[in-house]
Amino acid sequence: MELRGITKRFPGVVANHDIDITVRRGTVHALVGENGAGKSTLMKILYGMQKPDEGTIAVDGEQVSFHNPGDAIARGIGMVHQHFMLADYLTVLENVVLGSEKLYGIGDRARARIKEISDAYGLGVRPDVMVEDLGVADRQRVEILKVLYRGARTLILDEPTAVLVPQEVDALFDNLRELKAEGLTVIFISHKLGEVLSVADEITVIRRGTTVGTADPANTTPKQLAELMVGSELPSPETRESTVTDTPMLTVDDLRLTATDPDGVVRAVLDGITFTIHKGEVLGIAGVEGNGQSELVDAIMGMRHLDTGVLTLDGADISRTPTRKRREDGMAVIPEDRHRHGLLLEAPLWENRILGHVTERPNSKGAFLDLKAARADTERIVREYDVRTPGIEVTAASLSGGNQQKLIVGREMSHAPKLLIAAHPTRGVDVGAQAQIWDQIREARREGLAVLLISADLDELIGLSDTLRVMYRGRLVADADPATITPEELGSAMTGAASGHLEAPAESGTDAESGPDTADTDPRDGGEDR
């Protein structure tokens, strides 16, 4: 595949400028760059979602012009998006064949073809499982199978490891090597430079919308790659100076929450959660997604009603306090899904700056919104957090994912919060923005901010946390010492294995039999245990 002179302009910004890339058949080709560098726009052009203003694309030596994704699929190009496009209440088979029923029907032929592809590439996909019962790694394999089912010979993977634990990353990379061995091509977009260097055959670096160079993984270090991307060294979250005080900021006591499945089965999603976060402390929660972390955030923010339990913020009982009042009292949140819970994608940036803080200065003056002040403060956030945008009147949807994340972080940190709930705060951001967000959290922590940190980046969890807990099947099952545990040990504990650096939780009252070393099933397998 050859892209030559690709240029794409939008009002007020040039997303791609004269980009040249050559991708060899049967290789893993990584595409890296800072947020807003133009990676996503380039891949949308390659997948037929957008047309370039200038430049050419050639596939297997033949020049092509894609008007829509169907044209790209017809030429063997498939894309797995960072935000999965699956229907939870359909089976794996139904999701795979949806829109492609003419290929193999919707019955035994389709099931046989899915099994054939799954076995050929080691995907381990089960056709009749409901997608809602799958964990993140399994959903990703379904997405990969879906594009292979449509005949893709070139796969575009956008941030495929963003939410995976180390063992799942290793399994994914085994899948990619199997695809490559069969002659398929993978274009791999990621901000995790160590992973890029371990799996890629070639690397293209994009900066400010244009290609600035290529790198040979065998002769390149993460530090050199980071400098090529953003002109700075690879950041580290490591912080060992203690700022923890004796003053409790958030106390969670015996929090319990149940949910009813579509078939009427009631299950516990949070089961006896107890912990305390003090001023100046970062409490990290480690766990494979789907083990109750999302529900815990919702419960603390007041977006879900508790079955039982008491929440105390800075000495005041907030168990029945509305979400808006909790925010006014000093609670801030960086949501795990910025599109669903953090932004109004079709609204301008200054309106998004107001979200969740409409009653607070500078957004309001008395009973009225102060739009002039809100716009001015949005400009400040754009400057201080390096949000790459032509202006604050553009919609949030026009920003790259990383720049959307920086806008949210800037908004939530702008009201001097007492407690920050940070769910995957650096997901989808480049190394430069990652370092900036870590610095903001460290600085606020020194000023007394209490932080509940939930992240799939285990280096981030270990490096930033003062206290580390493992969450499994809606329970806090173990404590870990951030100073001694390794990412591999933590990843094992998250999936139910034992570790020598884990101990029973100090506050939750979990007995030894419920610890991770005795779990015989994975919650991502579905069923009543989930």
Does residue 168 sit in helix, strand or coil? helix
- Range(s) of the domain holding residue 364: 342-415
What is the per-residue DSSP string for 379-432?
A: HHHHHHTT---S-TTSBGGGS-HHHHHHHHHHHHHTT--SEEEEESTTTT--HH
Has this prediction a pTM greater than 0.85? no
Q: At what angle do helices 136-149 and 166-181 cross, to 10 degrees?
A: 20
Given this model, what pLDDT does residue 172 score? 78
CA distance 4 to 515: 55
Domain boundary among 360, 390, 415: 415
All residues at 6 or more sequence positions from 352 whose CB lies less than 8 Å from its CB, including other chains: 343, 344, 396, 407, 411
Task: Give the CA distances from residue 294 to residues 58, 89, 256, 441, in Å, rounded to whole numbers and listed in that order.
Answer: 43, 19, 14, 21
Flag whether 307 is in a domain.
Answer: yes
What is the per-residue DSSP string for 263-332?
A: TS-EEEEEEEEEEEEETT-EEEEE--TTSSHHHHHHHHHTSS--SEEEEEETTEE-TT--HHHHHHTTEE
Flag whether 241 is in a domain.
Answer: no
The domain that holds 94 is classified in CATH as: 3.40.50.300
Amino acid of residue 348: P
Half-sphere exposure of 30 (CA within 13 A, CB side): 28
Query: What DSSP character marks residue 523?
Result: G
All residues at 6 or more sequence positions from 448 whose CB lies less than 8 Å from its CB, including other chains: 243, 245, 279, 280, 418
Domain boundary among 415, 439, 468: 415
CA distance 232 to 188: 22
Beta bridge partners of 188: 30, 157
3-state class percentages of the chain: helix first, strand second, coil last, to nearest 5:
35, 25, 40
Flag whether 107 is in a domain.
Answer: yes
Flag whether 239 is in a domain.
Answer: no
Flag whether 308 is in a domain.
Answer: yes
Per-residue model confidence as pLDDT tens for the chain (530 residues): 999 999 998 876 788 889 999 999 999 999 988 777 788 889 899 999 999 999 999 999 999 999 998 899 889 998 888 777 888 888 989 999 988 877 777 888 889 988 888 887 777 888 888 888 777 778 888 888 888 888 889 989 888 777 676 777 787 788 888 888 888 899 988 877 888 898 899 999 988 788 888 889 988 888 888 878 776 655 666 666 778 889 999 999 999 998 876 667 788 889 999 999 999 999 999 987 778 888 999 999 998 888 999 999 999 999 999 999 999 999 999 998 888 889 999 999 999 998 888 888 888 887 888 889 989 999 999 998 888 888 999 999 888 878 899 999 999 998 889 999 999 898 777 777 788 888 888 888 999 999 999 988 888 899 899 999 999 888 998 888 888 888 878 887 887 665 555 565 665 444 433 443 433 333 334 333 32
Is 359 found in the same domain as 304? no
What is the per-residue DSSP string for 340-368?
A: HHT--TTSBHHHHHHTT-TTSTTTEETTE
Given this model, what pLDDT does residue 170 score? 81
- Tokens 């079955």 belong to 307
Give the chain's domain count.
3
Distance from the Cα of residue 431 to its chain's centroid: 15
CA distance 208 to 359: 37
Is 149 found in the same domain as 264? no
Flag whether 215 is in a domain.
Answer: yes
CA distance 317 to 294: 22
- Tokens 């292979």 belong to 148
All residues at 6 or more sequence positions from 478 whose CB lies less than 8 Å from its CB, including other chains: 469, 470, 493, 499, 502, 503, 504, 505, 515, 516
Is 352 found in the same domain as 263? no
Flag whether 96 is in a domain.
Answer: yes
Flag whether 237 is in a domain.
Answer: no
Is 144 found in the same domain as 278? no
